[in-house]
Amino acid sequence: MSGVKAGSIPHLRRTGHGLRQVTPAPAERGAGICHDGRVKSRFEVRVRPARLADQEALIELEAIAWSAESGFPSTMAADQRNATFFDDRNPPEAFLVAELDGRVAGYIRLKPPTKLPENAHVIQVQGLAVHPDARRHGVASGLLAAAEETLRERGTRKLTLRVLGTNAAAIRLYERRGFVREGTLLEEFCIKGRFVDDVIMAKRL
Ligand SMILES: CC(C)(COP(=O)(O)OP(=O)(O)OC[C@H]1O[C@@H](n2cnc3c(N)ncnc32)[C@H](O)[C@@H]1OP(=O)(O)O)[C@@H](O)C(=O)NCCC(=O)NCCS
């Protein structure tokens, strides 16, 4: 079953993020049950290339999307965060964004892991985040699906990523999308006094 119940949707307004509730079309009402018993999201996810105008929404999203289970506390403090979301090394072209009900609700950053031509068949997910109030509606799944499709068309052979061993939600998401574990960097980080593994995952496109 979807983790976000219809009753929690109005909280999207609370953050000032601007997401608003969708009233399902009459034909959609009562038709939201998947064959396996899960409740289908009533929200439409649309993925598109990022543009400069997304910057404000992405700065707001980035400020609240990460936790000590999913990211690095040293980079989360307000005075440690970049003033801009995009910069020379991270231009809009490196990102896809997802809109939920027409508002930016998540992003994925895709970059080559190295500049080596011998490594050019590989692309790495170097950032994926969804607004906390927009989660469990298929936003991250939509971003990954769109990224995979675009990369496959470009001839990319393999999509890789690194995920903290404490990030159960993201690991589940990647496994659901067919990523497999290729290795683990044991106790690679020390986060809040606890040693945390870094899990390497990949999917053949
Ligand atoms: C991980 C994250 C990107 C998932 O985004 P999302 O839009 O909520 O994911 P989806 O709705 O597409 O979920 C797809 C599936 O992933 C799994 N999943 C997602 N969130 C989960 C959670 N909190 N607990 C367990 N499984 C979860 C489920 O199998 C889910 O399918 P279901 O909702 O039908 O059960 C989001 O929680 C997030 O932004 N977290 C903070 C940043 C982060 O961890 N980024 C990844 C860094 S490697």
Please report the pLDDT score of residue 200 as a whole number.
98
Please report the pLDDT score of residue 81 as a whole number.
77
Please report the pLDDT score of residue 83 as a whole number.
85
Nearest-atom number in ligand 1 for the CA of 161 is 48
Separation in Å, CA 67 to CA 73, 124, 136, 166: 7, 21, 17, 10
Count of Cβ atoms closer than 10 Å to residue 155 Cβ: 9
Please list the residues that pair with 190 across neighbouring strands: 195
DSSP state at residue 161 = E
DSSP string spanning 52-67?
A: GGGHHHHHHHHHHH--
Q: Is 130 exposed, middle or buried (0-12, 13-18, 19+ CB in 10 A)?
A: buried
The three-point CA angle 46-12-76 to 5° equals 90
Is residue 129 within 8 A of residue 62, CB to CB? The reply is: yes
Q: Where are the domains of the chain?
A: 43-204
Please report the pLDDT score of residue 80 as a whole number.
72
Is residue 84 within 8 A of residue 55, CB to CB? The reply is: yes
Candidate of 172, 179, 184 to mutate for ligand 1, largest count of ligand atoms within 8 Å of Cβ: 172
Tens-binned pLDDT, residue by residue, of the chain (205 aa)? 233 222 232 333 333 333 333 333 333 333 344 444 444 566 799 999 999 999 999 999 999 999 999 999 999 887 777 889 999 999 999 999 999 989 999 999 999 999 999 999 999 999 999 999 999 999 999 999 999 999 999 999 999 999 999 999 999 999 999 999 999 999 999 999 999 999 999 999 9
Nearest-atom number in ligand 1 for the CA of 65 is 41
Nearest-atom number in ligand 1 for the CA of 127 is 47
Please report the pLDDT score of residue 78 as a whole number.
77
Q: What are phi and psi of 141, to 5 degrees?
A: -60, -40
131 lines ligand 1 (CB under 6 A): no
Alpha carbon nearest to ligand 1 atom 23, residue: 169
Span 43-204 CATH architecture: 3-Layer(aba) Sandwich (3.40)
Please report the pLDDT score of residue 77 as a whole number.
80
Separation in Å, CA 16 to CA 10, 50, 88, 98: 12, 21, 29, 18
126 lines ligand 1 (CB under 6 A): no
Q: Is 201 exposed, middle or buried (0-12, 13-18, 19+ CB in 10 A)?
A: buried
Please report the pLDDT score of residue 43 as a whole number.
78
Please report the pLDDT score of residue 13 as a whole number.
36
Please report the pLDDT score of residue 79 as a whole number.
77
By C-alpha distance, which of 172, 174, 173 is closest to 159? Answer: 174
By C-alpha distance, which of 62, 73, 69, 166 is closest to 106? Answer: 62
